[in-house]
Amino acid sequence: MPPHKLSARRVLSTIVTVGFFLGLASLSGSIAHAHGEGEASEPIRAEVVRVLADTLEGLPGLSLQTRVQELEVRLLNGPEEGGLVVLVNDLVPLSVGDKLFVTSFVASDNTLAYGILEPDRRGALLLFAILFAAIVVFFGGKQGLRALLALAGSFFIIFYLLFPALLAGYPPVLVSTLVAVAIITFAILVTHGWNKTSLAALLGTITTILLAIIFAELAVSATNLSGFADEAAMYVNLDSGGLLNFRGLLLGAIIIGILGVLDDVAITQAAAVEQLRKAAPHLSRKELYRKALVIGREHVGALVNTLALAYAGAALPLLLYLASGAEPFALAINREVFAAEIIRTIVGSTAIIFAVPITTWLAVRLLETKGVQLL
């Protein structure tokens, strides 16, 4: 490809990327303003200066013991910044120098008292995020950098468009669908560039998303899922005054949750068609489609298993409860918390299967010209 065309494409991609982010930021600000979004109060941080006691205590009514610490901590901000307070910790064992978040409340004697919320994990989280980025760049090079940019863009869209729109009361399914299209478009643009292969993958993914929405709607309706599968949903419902549509949120979560695997299978399938066309330009459309479909079937088998295991890993405590026999299997599997995970897995796996023939057909149509040059 001539250098001037490549430069023009890069300039165009940069303009589209910057414009994409600016447009989303503007839209996000409008949604947040309409929602009347306020700022949460600054959390109070503290540092452990002394461990006064560290003992094992029995749990009432159980033969188990838990570790209980008495800690002296220094408040790092808040109305009593610099002051020392003594706290009882029975959450996660802490050592001198550890940082933590505390909450303040007015005690019965009208004095300000404190309790432990959580250890401050932000330093460790940042360290592992940097390590992850370094590994991606080391092994992926420029493509790794593009992947990180696409990942950052996905989180930007989720946090600054999806969440504000949902909290503002916009229809969850519509918002999630538009956000899914925005995420997949941006990810493919940044990671793979604009060419016929990525276009086929993009169109295949969007088509599959629309089919998955219909299938998910049927599945959620047939199983009478409400979206209230865990305590987090209850808290959000109370915080929103009961204005959010949690059944719609469940559908939206299913849509967003399958984006990664759909992107994977669609790009792989479109690339397979491209390589087959280059290796055997004499193949007819029908032959090309059939050969590419064989590759797709192998990929589907691996991805369906991957998706199921990912959901199983995320729900491992629930599966342990199911395996413990604490209640009859028929009743346990019928609970929404289990049924919702089953539906997620079924819808996601079905979407993967849909994506293969759809993307393959689109790629064959777009790459049908012998000796085709990518755009």
Residue 224 sits in a domain whose CATH number is 1.20.1640
What mean pLDDT, rounded, does the chain reach? Answer: 84
Nearest to 353 by CA among 297, 302, 272: 297
Burial 333-350, CB ≥16 within 10 A → b, else e: eeebebbbbebbbebbbb
Taking residues 118-139, report their average pLDDT.
Answer: 95
Domain count, the chain: 2
Whether residue 84 contacts residue 98, with contact meaning beta carbons closer than 8 Å, is answered with no
- Is 78's pLDDT higher than 60? yes
Same domain? For 329 and 185 the reply is: yes
> Would residue 332 count as lying in a domain?
yes
Strands 112-119 and 84-89: unpaired
Whether residue 202 contacts residue 188, with contact meaning beta carbons closer than 8 Å, is answered with yes
Same domain? For 192 and 93 the reply is: no
Instruction: Write down the pLDDT at residue 177.
Output: 93
Token code pair at residue 40: 């949460």
C-alpha span between 244 and 252 (Å, rounded): 12
Instruction: Write down the pLDDT at residue 185.
Output: 92
Please give the DSSP secondary-structure letter assigned to residue 39: P
Lowest mean pLDDT among 20-29, 36-45, 51-60: 20-29
- Which region holds residue 67: left if phi is over 0, alpha if psi is between -120 and 50, else beta? beta
Instruction: Write down the pLDDT at residue 369.
Output: 54
Taking residues 250-261, report their average pLDDT.
Answer: 90
Same domain? For 177 and 107 the reply is: no
Lowest mean pLDDT among 140-149, 253-262, 301-310: 301-310
> Would residue 17 count as lying in a domain?
no
Residue with tokens 């399938």: 269
Same domain? For 112 and 199 the reply is: no
Instruction: Write down the pLDDT at residue 104.
Output: 86
* 6 pLDDT tier (thresholds 50, 70, 90): very low
Lowest mean pLDDT among 127-141, 204-218, 316-330: 316-330
Q: pLDDT above 90 covers what percent of the chain?
A: 42
Q: What is the 3-state secondary structure (H, E, C) of 212-241?
A: HHHHHHHHHHHCCCCCCCCHHHHHHHHHCC
For 117, residues 6+ apart whose C-beta sits below 8 A from its C-beta are 43, 100, 101, 102, 103
Task: Map residue 311 onto helix, strand or coil.
Answer: helix
Instruction: Write down the pLDDT at residue 22.
Output: 54
Task: Map residue 283 onto helix, strand or coil.
Answer: coil
- Which region holds residue 69: left if phi is over 0, alpha if psi is between -120 and 50, else beta? beta
* DSSP run (H or E) holding 340: helix 336-366
Q: Report the predicted TM-score, pTM, of the whole model to 2 decimal places.
A: 0.78
> Would residue 260 count as lying in a domain?
yes
Which of residues 80, 105, 120 is at a domain's end?
A: 120
Taking residues 208-227, report their average pLDDT.
Answer: 93
Burial environment of residue 135 by CB neighbours within 10 A (0 to 12, 13 to 18, 19 or more) = exposed
Same domain? For 114 and 184 the reply is: no
Q: At what angle do helices 231-239 and 246-257 cross, to 10 degrees?
A: 120
What is the extent of the structural domain holding 89? 44-120
Taking residues 303-310, report their average pLDDT.
Answer: 81
Token code pair at residue 112: 């300000």
Which of residues 120, 146, 177 is at a domain's end?
A: 120
* 39 pLDDT tier (thresholds 50, 70, 90): very low
- Is 29's pLDDT higher than 60? no
Instruction: Write down the pLDDT at residue 251.
Output: 92
Same domain? For 173 and 96 the reply is: no
Burial environment of residue 82 by CB neighbours within 10 A (0 to 12, 13 to 18, 19 or more) = exposed
Same domain? For 212 and 80 the reply is: no
For 40-55, the DSSP string reads: PPPPEEEEEEEEEEEE
Instruction: Write down the pLDDT at residue 264.
Output: 87
pLDDT digit string, tens, across residues 92-117: 899 999 999 998 888 777 778 888 99
> Would residue 132 count as lying in a domain?
no
Taking residues 168-182, report their average pLDDT.
Answer: 92
* 16 pLDDT tier (thresholds 50, 70, 90): low
Q: Cα–chain-centroid distance for residue 155?
A: 8
Which of residues 103, 120, 137 is at a domain's end?
A: 120
- Is 41's pLDDT higher than 70? no
* 87 pLDDT tier (thresholds 50, 70, 90): very high
Q: Cα–chain-centroid distance for residue 130?
A: 19
Same domain? For 226 and 344 the reply is: yes
* Beta-bridge partners for 55: 68
> Would residue 161 count as lying in a domain?
no
Nearest to 212 by CA among 170, 168, 169, 177: 177
